[in-house]
Chain A
Amino acid sequence: MGPGNANAGRGERFRSSLRKPGTITALVVGAAVALLAGAYWGGPASALGAPVAAVLAIVAGAWWLADRKAEAVFWKHVADSLGYTPFFDPTALETTTPLLHAGDRRSWRHELMGPLGDSGLTARLAQYKFDVKHEGSKGNDSWDSFRWTICLIELPDGMQMFPGVYLREQRGLLERLAGHDWLRGRHLREVELESTEFNETYDLQVAREQDDGRLRELFDPKTIVWLQDHPLRPQIEYRAGFLVVYVPGYLEDMGRVVWLLEAAERIAERVQAEIGESREAVG
């Protein structure tokens, strides 16, 4: 049985790394060098402070390594359990939907690819981050980071039927002010569905040419209620045949990762069902 979350085993790894001869040597040598350097360049106070700082830095480094290792083991376990394999070109996805093209800088972690349940579709699962740059008046730029866990599925058959559907969780006033709206300037229109509760929970925007009848078929009552009740509050972007189902933050436990994939599967199947019905109607 593998780790249930990305922190499992981190403490043990940290403690065991501190007991390793290499770490003990690094601590002793680091403290000695810091003591000598502090005494030579700074005087008695530095001679005392520098070894403490060196020891703390080495311990923090060991903790960081243990954290990274635990995370890597967890994601390896996720991949093995789901039958997923690493995929290495996430930047190719950055032109697909607005979220994946948001901000001034983007980065990806733990990119995996594999079957989406029994749907016959392929899913790409990853932790994704975009950063927004704030230019300071004196050249002191700062960055705001926005982290997500995403599941991307290619559904090219629905491109014409759904030219752009963006379902996001409603954001509070503070979040609107402090956050970054990656849908701004995309000439979308807001749509309210029949459920007051749903409209209070979600913000639905669509491309101007989106057919409302089709949209309401996609968001049928069962889907609306399911989205309202879902503990992860999955959010959706569907554009140019790419469906992205995402949640804020990096998911770091198995249960939630599986939940996200199940949600993505259900939404993908819903889109496929609509495409199928439309074909039947035409045929």
Chain B
Amino acid sequence: MAYLQLRGIEKFFGEHRAIKGIDLTIQQGEFIVFVGPSGCGKSTLLRLIAGLENIDGGTLMLDGRDITDQPSSKRDLAMVFQSYALYPHMSVYENMSFALKLAKVDKQVIDEKVQNAARILNLTQYLQRTPKELSGGQRQRVAIGRAIVRAPKVFLFDEPLSNLDAALRGQTRVEIAKLHRDLGATTIYVTHDQVEAMTLADRVVVLRDGVIEQVGTPLELYDRPANQFVAQFIGTPQMNVVPLPQLPSPVQQQAPAGAEGGAIGLRPENITVRNTGATPVPGQVDLVEALGAETLIYVSTPSGAQFVARQNDRTGLRAGDAVSLDIDASHAHWFDPAGRVVAGAAA
């Protein structure tokens, strides 16, 4: 049964149609990540669900209740903001207990819940401090704590990690995943970072220009992208997408019907760099990035195509070396001229 259901959700900013009829069904306990480039509408969609923006069209159902026109305060959702948005004039304890106090929960129950959340988040010794006296990571945890003491129907996260430094971001990401596993709460998480999307999500919603491009588990999106946009958005380094005419004819001949005039998409791990002459695809090394555990080799072919190959061992190749490329066409994605997938890789 659908827990949170979006049906034909629309949002206009003046003349601009920011959200274009979004349909999405979310099950109880799911961890959903909205991901997409900036300006794709992912934050707007989250704010529409939160009730912080008015919905201009469509309906929003939560647990069998129509909340389309309900104010935020009546929706029973909790949100963690990018800027944390803690109440600066209240202590950590007051921040975390604010919602329960408004709901007129018994003082003793409040104390129990706050202490419990503080223990989970390692905040017990900071409860009497004000947000000003905390580090960025601690503030982040207070913001999360403020959300979890309420046990809301749905947690909303709006790019919660983007203000943290890289090390702390990775650590907090793991904590959020653990928290979700322990609490089992329905969660919607907005990010532009596809690593966060891949590691946290049960299902990822890829958005572009106010439209859902694809919904699926992280590996579904990686292995069977619905179109060229998703294919290139998910995965680092990006999938190689090369127009068919730039490919040597032996590879071109493997293209399925419908891909004429389109392109081929190859993950970097499906291209192997061999000695020159070993395959019918000649090329020249432009750049080698040795990252330790893996090596990225950038190669361009005489036809003008550019490829990135990823290999797990190190290489003696240098920029300018002549090589040939071994293309694993069985893992190729074929796109028609409009960018839609013609035949996906057999994953």
B and A form one assembly: no
- Chain B contacts to A: CB under 8 angstroms: none
